[in-house]
Structures are given as structure tokens and as C-alpha cells.
Amino acid sequence: MKYISLNYNSKSTLFHNAVKRGLAPDRGLYFPETIPQLPRSFFDGIEKLSIPEMAYRVIKPYVGNKILKEKLMEIVTETLDFDFPIIDINENIAALELFQGPTLAFKDVGARFMARSLGYLNQDSNEKINVLVATSGDTGGAVANGFLGVEGINVFIFYPKGKVSEIQEKQLTTLGHNITAFEVDGVFDDCQEMVKTAFLDSGLSSLNLTSANSINVARWLPQMFYYFIAFRALKSKNKRLVFSVPSGNFGNICAGIMGQQMGLPIDHFVASTNVNDAVPRYLETGTYNPMPTIQTISNAMDVGNPSNFIRIQKIFNNDAVKMKKYLSGYRYTDQQTRKALKEIYDLKNYIADPHGAVGYLGLKEYLNQQKEDLYGVFLETAHPVKFFESVNKTLKVEVAIPERLKDTLSKEKVSVPIKDYSELKAYLLD
């Protein structure tokens, strides 16, 4: 499998190079030259496969032969060593919990896969790799946990000051060792721009920089796994499936669409956003017009210019009409999000997080417009305790703090304040 740059001004490359580089030399995102097709027999017998066996067959065509079968199976098995429960909310809507991993967020899947893959690919090298990652919330903690202690790799995390929850901040600023957190005076898009600028700065070329954001194929593609896991679990319902994805940088929903393109029987995707709504506006108007980021209670989706949308455009060959056959988009305010949190709790005594509540709203809106008998799944992307202030205030209930978080919360935050790219460059060079 070769990977091309979506700026179309760099040579194609193989998986291991794409992972190590993060971005192509022309600053484009890497994208598979072809999308592999899974045979019908794979889906007919999917429930007979273990989850690691299933995931191995999904990811193997993208990885190629640089990681041998036994090692890739080991990586996949370690990546997916926690549960992915599906919780019924009503007769045709369910929540897929993606927060049962070590940092209580869906990002654990991609971060664990990438950390193990990159560590293996770099094991025979004497050179250190420096991983840069921008986060609007959960990415930082998941990447920090996934890469903690990995030999030969340093991780630098960039997060917007005052715009992540206390728990999210503690998860990415308290680990130490090979993890450094930068507290950026700005918004997520500023953090992301710093990372992209550093990649293309010839003055930093000696540092072997790569990214652990979903712009990196090893972070992005494994997110397909849980769509396959959900289909495997729901296959016996024999209903057409719709997935609603709380969307910020659009890597998660893009991975699901990739799975669909491989043959996964998903009827439709719903991109559910907060008021940072560049993609829903594109689906309405056909014009992509990013706007400055607005802060919300669903902070991981506070992204004004989502990087991965260009990959979705590539999947559909920039055909907006074709895209809308498979993808809808809706936006919701904080007030609507709080109302949804109450509605879900009243229906099932289920405590969602604000991102999942946005996903629920988008799913409900789409299903209400359809006449067919569909079954909808919205993604619960993070444990509600990460947003306990807004959740507790809205529901008047106390979200219990999981034991694994209590130790993290007792630690002291350590971060490096940074205002602009020149400060970052000086730090890295030093």
C-alpha cells in the first residue's frame, strides 16, 4: 500500500515512512493510494472472528509487510484490550461507549496503535523521534499515555490554555518522563498550526518530527476498528445502521467512512457538531468556509478548520452531491446540548458526556427525517467525569470519579507556557 499527499506535490510513500513523517513534505495529509475491499465472506462470518482477528484483517492492507503478522497481531490485541459496550437508549437508538480505555476517551485506540507501531518501526534506529500533537481535549492524554516510556521517542503536547477540562489537563501535564506539555495562549487551531509549521521548518529537520494527531495515518486509520466492532455486535438485529459521530477534527468520522468504503454495511453517517460548524455549512451550501473557533462545553469539538475534512472530500472525489448521500451534518448550541443530556438521562438514567449528547441530537434529527426502519448508534467519546462541572450542573447528579483517575488528579500540573511559534522553535532547538 502506497500513500499519496493530498497536496499532490510530493512522491508517494509506504506506511512506515508516512507514520514517521506525519505530514508529507508538501504539507499535505497522506491518503491511501487505493482503498482495499473486504470480501462479502468477511462480513458474513464476522461474528466468528475474535475482535483482534477481525481488526488485523481490516488494518493489514494499510500496513503492508514492514510489520510482520505476529507483531501486528500483538499490536492490535494490545490496542483493543478493553470493552466497547453498546447501551440501548430507546428501541432504535444506542450509545457506543468508546471510553473504557486507560484515559477514558476514544482516542485511546488510535494512540495505542500508533505508539506501538512507531516504537516497533524505530526500534533498530539510534535516532530519537520527536512526536508533536495538538489537542482540544482528549487527544493529549491518550497520546501521552500511549507513548509514555516508549524508548527513543519524545512527545510534545500542545493544548489551548483554559480551554480543556481540569481532568483532561491533568492527564496530559502530570506524566513527565518523555512527555512535555505546552500550554498555548490561543485556541486549538493555533496549536494545530504550530505543529504543521514545525514539520515544514527546515531549521528543525534534524529533530525527526512526526505528529500523533489524526493527521497521522497510524492514529487515524485504527479508528475504523470500533465501527467494525459495533457492526459485529449488532449484526443479529438485521437492521440498516446509521452512525452519528460527535465531530471536531473529523478524523473519527472519516475513519468510519473509510470502513464503509471497504464494504462495512453502514447506511449513513451523521456529523454532529457544536457551533463550530464548517462541515454542516458545507453540506448545506457546497462552500467550505472555516470560521474562528468558538469555545463550548463540548470542547474537544471546538475546531474551526478540521484537518481531516480534506480526506472525506478525497473519498467522494470532491463531489458534494455524492457526499450528501452518505453524510449529513447538524450543529447544536450549548443550550441544546444540556437539554439533550437531560433527555438521555430521563430516558434511561444514562449519564452521557456533552460530546455524546451532541451525537445523540444529530442522530435523532436524522432518524426523524427518514421513513425507513433504521437503527442508530451515537458515539460516546469520553467518560462524563471529564466534564463533571457541566454534567453535574445540568443533571444535578454527582458523577463518580473512576479509581484510575484519582491518582492523576492528585498530581501537580507541569506545563510550559508558550505564546507563538518562535518560542516553540527556540525551545525545541534548545
Angle between helix 334-348 and 388-395 (nearest 10): 60
Q: Which letter does DSSP use for residue 216 in this model? A: S
Q: Which regions of 110-222 does DSSP assign to beta strands (E)? A: 129-134, 153-160, 179-184, 209-211
Every domain of the chain and the residues it spans: 83-104+220-401
pLDDT per residue as tens digits for the range 377-425: 999 999 999 888 899 999 999 888 888 888 888 889 999 999 999 999 9
For the chain, list residues with pLDDT below 70: none
Distances (CA, A) of 140 to 58, 179, 252, 403, 426: 26, 10, 16, 20, 22
Q: For residue range 346-372, list pLDDT tens digits in order.
A: 999 999 999 999 999 999 999 999 988
CB-CB contact of 375 with 237 (8 Å): yes
- What is the crossing angle of helices 225-234 and 51-63, to 10°? 140
Q: What pLDDT is recorded for position 329?
A: 98
Entry pTM: 0.91
- Domain covering 83-104+220-401 assigned CATH 3.30.930.10 in the classification: no
Residue 72 corresponds to which cell in the numbers above? 501486528
Q: 54: how many CB neighbours lie within 10 A of its CB? A: 22
Candidates 93, 48, 98, 358; CA nearest to 225 is 98
State the number of CA atoms in the 13 A half-sphere of 428 facing the CB: 28
Query: So what's the pLDDT on residue 150?
Result: 86
Predicted confidence at residue 285, as pLDDT, reads: 93
C-alpha to C-alpha distance for 397 and 344, rounded to whole angstroms: 14
What is residue 157's predicted lDDT score, i.e. its pLDDT? 94
pLDDT of residue 407: 82
Report how far residue 295's alpha carbon sits from residue 356's, in angstroms, rounded to the nearest whole number.
17
Strands (DSSP E) contained in 247-336 are 268-273, 327-331
Q: Which residue has the cell 443533571?
A: 395
Q: Assess contact for 102 and 175: CB atoms under 8 A.
A: no
pLDDT of residue 319: 94
Scanning the structure block, which residue is given the C-alpha cell 499535505?
Answer: 28
Specify the amino acid at residue 22.
G
pLDDT score recorded for residue 183: 95
Name residues whose C-beta falls within 8 Å of residue 206's C-beta, 6 or more positions apart in sequence: none
Instruction: Using DSSP, state whether 126 is helix, strand or coil.
Output: coil
